[in-house]
Structure 1
Amino acid sequence: MTITQLHYVLAVAEHKNFTKAAQKVFVTQPTLSMQIQKLEDELDILIFDRSKKPIELTEVGRKIVSQARNIVNESNRIKDIVDQEKGFIGGEFKLGIIPTVMPTLLPMFLHNFLKKYSKVKLTIEEIHTEAMIEKLEEGHLDAGIAATPLNNDLIKERVLYYEPFVSYIPYNHTLQKLDKLTVEDLDVNEILLLQDGHCFKDSVINLCKASKDYLDNNMRLQSGSFETLIKLADEGLGMTLLPYLHTLDLNGDRSKNLKMFEEPTPAREVSLIYHRSELKMQIIEALQSVIAGVVKGAIAFQNVQIISPKPAK
């Protein structure tokens, strides 16, 4: 049994196709098939049910894949130990960022990070939280930036900053007369929301203490972007809530429609998350340091109430 064979098994388990898996690991399909066949012969079991289309794992195959991930992760740790001993910060690093953080945070830190750590080959993917967690667990991402806490035993979290919720209220709305809002001022039926899949939507629902069943029984306008929500609010179709960093670039007229909440200000916790195996920690720590350095000047809020991104039950 070899580490290479386990890499091949994981590739087939992911792609459910020998040809695609071979392309992924940069070998010919016959080579990959032969090595997996040798492993199956050695273990005297079938890892894959090749009669199914697409290919499926057998029952014992699922257990082998789970253990193979652990073994491959531990083998990768050896290179990590050497890199840390040498003080080397470089190599490939795959980072996921949730859509409601990506547009504001990425421009703030990316240039500084790449300039300071030019040997890191950074690949960035915009991805929703649930898919991010799955990719972290399967080793397809090295780290992610997401709203937390996630309460996942396989995932570790390092808080980067707390980002307050800011209300966007058009000039003709009844709440426009208030200097600051309280949670009790909110009516979830008047709030324009992001589409399902965005954890910020779940945080807003949790803030309003409203159930999804209640929302589903009402005609609601939902969008995939904060810019669309702002435009809909400007048309008199309701109000919306925005993360603080999204409000910094609003022009003069729109900025007049922003209202903060009374303290403790409802906020989301944004963290750098990674697998508990703690691979590539030197790059994770470098990312944390650079991001903390650029956001501390933009967000200086202390008295906040963290609103969970986990969907309300």
Structure 2
Amino acid sequence: MTITQLQYVLAVAEYKNFTLAAEKSFVTQPTLSMQVQKLEDELDILLFDRSKKPITITDVGEKIVAQAKNIVNEAARIKDIVEQEKGFIGGDYVLGIIPTIMPTLLPMFLKNFIHKYPKVNLIIKEQNTESLIQNIEDGHIDAAIAATPLEVDFITERPLYYEPFVGYVPKDHRLGKSNQITPDDLDIEDILLLQDGHCFREGILNLCKAPKIGSEHFSLQSGSFETLINLSNEGLGMTLLPYLNTLELDDVKKKNLKYFKDPSPAREVSLIYHKKELKVQITEALRDVITGIVRGAIAFQDVKIISPLNK
């Protein structure tokens, strides 16, 4: 029995297809099939029922797969220990980021990080929170940046910063003459939101204490804050933006920003990863770079955290 064989077994268990598992493992299909067969012969059991499409895992195979995950992770941890001992910070590191954070945060820290840690091959993927959680569990990404709290048993959450909400209110809106706004000023009927599936949307719905949103005139499914701003300028309502998204608005649009009275509602943004963390030294380096940069960009201190879990 080898670590490589167990890795191949995990790939087949995930993709339910030998050809796809081989492709994802960067080996030929005959090579992968032969190694899985050798392991089955050694254990004198069948791990997979090949007569079904897609392939299914046998009852004993399920138990072996669960144990294989532990063994493969622990083997990777040995490499981590050695690299930490040598002070080496490098290698592949897959980082997921949710769409409402990626456009503003990534340009702030990426250049600084790759300059400081040139031996790290940072692979960045934009995914929604649900996908990030699943990929952390499956071991496809090393860490992610998402709005928290998530309260997932196997995930560690380490806050990076607290980002206030800012109102974008055109001058002819009912709140257009207000110097500051409060959550009580908000009416869910005239707030433009991102499409379903965005945690930022859910945070705003909870902020407004509204279980649903609808309009008798139109239905909006957009993942773009820019679209929401443009529609607001057309008189179709106001919207709420994450603070970092307001920094690069032009002077005309900045005149439409309305800040909340303290404590400002805000979202918690965290670095999340599996509790059986690997590549600890890279995770710590990433966290240090991001917090060092963002701390200076967000001057707000008195905030009230709003998240999809707040009710």
Q: What interval of TM-score do these two structures reach, taking the shorter chain for normalisation?
A: over 0.9
Q: Which whole-Å CA distance do the structure 2 matches of 1:194 and 1:60 have between them? A: 45
The whole-number CA distance in structure 2 between the counterparts of 1:216 and 1:250 is: 28
Q: Which residue of 1 aligns with 2:236?
A: 237
Look up the match of 1:20.
20
Q: Secondary structure of 1:176's partner?
A: coil
What's the secondary structure of 1:241's corresponding residue?
strand
Deviation (angstroms), 1:14: 2.3
Q: Which residue of 2 aligns with 1:116?
A: 116
Aligned-residue offset at 1:311: 8.1
Q: 2:156 is paired with a residue of what secondary structure? A: strand
> 1:214-229 to 2 correspondence within 5 Å?
215=213, 220-229=219-228
Partner secondary structure for residue 180 of structure 2: coil
Task: Give the equivalent residue in structure 2 for 1:166.
Answer: 166
Q: In structure 1, what is the Cα distance between the partners aligned to 2:52 and 2:178?
A: 63
| Structure-1 separation of matches of 2:77 and 2:107 | 31
**Alignment partners' CA distance in 2, 1:222 and 1:23:** 35
Structure 2 counterpart of 1:274: 273
Find the counterpart in structure 1 of residue 35 from structure 2. 35
Q: How far has the Cα of 1:216 moved from its partner?
A: 5.5
For 1:27, the aligned partner's letter is V
Q: How many residues align?
A: 310
State the distance in 2 between where 1:169 and 1:62 align. 55
Alignment partner, residue 289 of structure 1 = 288
Contact 2:189–2:214 (CA under 8 A) maintained in structure 1: no
Superposed displacement of residue 180, structure 1: 0.8
Shift of 1:59: 3.3
Q: Deviations over 1:184-208 (max 9, x none)?
A: 1111111111111111011011111
Q: Contact 2:265/2:304 (CA < 8 Å) preserved in 1?
A: yes
- 1:296: Cα distance to partner? 1.2
Question: 1:146-225 alignment to 2 at 5 Å?
Answer: 146-212=146-212, 215=213, 220-225=219-224
Matched, 1:307 2:306: yes
- Kept in 2: contact 1:160–1:271 (CA 8 A): yes
CA distance in 2, matches of 1:187, 1:47: 56
SS in structure 2 opposite 1:175? coil
Deviations 1:216-245 (Å, cap 9, x if unpaired)? Answer: 686542311100111111111111100000
The alignment-based identity, stated in percent, is 69
Residue matched to 1:246: 245
1:2 offset after TM fit, Å? 1.7
Mark the CA change 1:135 to 1:311 in structure 2 (over 3 Å): closer, same or farther. farther
The runs of 5 or more residues in structure 1 that have no matched partner are: none
The residue type equivalent to 1:303 in the other structure is D
Q: Which residue in 2 is equivalent to 1:128?
A: 128
2:84 aligned partner: 84
Q: Distance in 1 between matches of 2:109 and 2:225?
A: 21
Alignment-mate amino acid for residue 118 of structure 1: P
Root-mean-square deviation (CA, aligned residues, Å) is 1.5
**Contact 1:192-1:220 within 8 A present in 2 as well:** no
In the alignment, the residues of structure 1 paired with residue 265 and residue 34 of structure 2 have an alpha-carbon distance, to the nearest angstrom, of 57
Partner of residue 98, structure 1: 98
Q: Is the CA contact (8 Å cut-off) linking 2:189 and 2:215 kept in structure 1?
A: no
Q: Deviations over 1:44-64 (max 9, x none)?
A: 332222122222223333332
Q: Could you list the per-position Cα deviations for residues 11-30 of structure 1 after superposition, in whole angstroms to 9, with x for gaps in the alignment? A: 11222221121122222211
Q: How far is the alpha carbon of 1:10 from its aligned partner? A: 1.2
Distance 1:311 1:56, change over 3 A: farther
Q: Could you say what secondary structure the match of 1:144 adopts?
A: strand
In structure 2, the CA distance between the partners of 1:173 and 1:274, relative to structure 1 (3 Å rule), is same
Whether the aligned pair in 1 keeps the contact of 2:142 and 2:273 (CA below 8 Å) is yes
Is this contact kept in 2: 1:199–1:310, CA < 8 A?
Answer: no
2:117 paired with 1:107: no
Higher mean C-alpha deviation, range 111-120 or range 303-312 = 303-312
Stretches of structure 2 lacking an aligned partner (at least 5 in a row): none
Deviation, 1:31, is 1.7
Cα distance in 2 between the residues matched to 1:193 and 1:63: 44
8 Å CA contact 2:97, 2:126 repeated in 1: yes
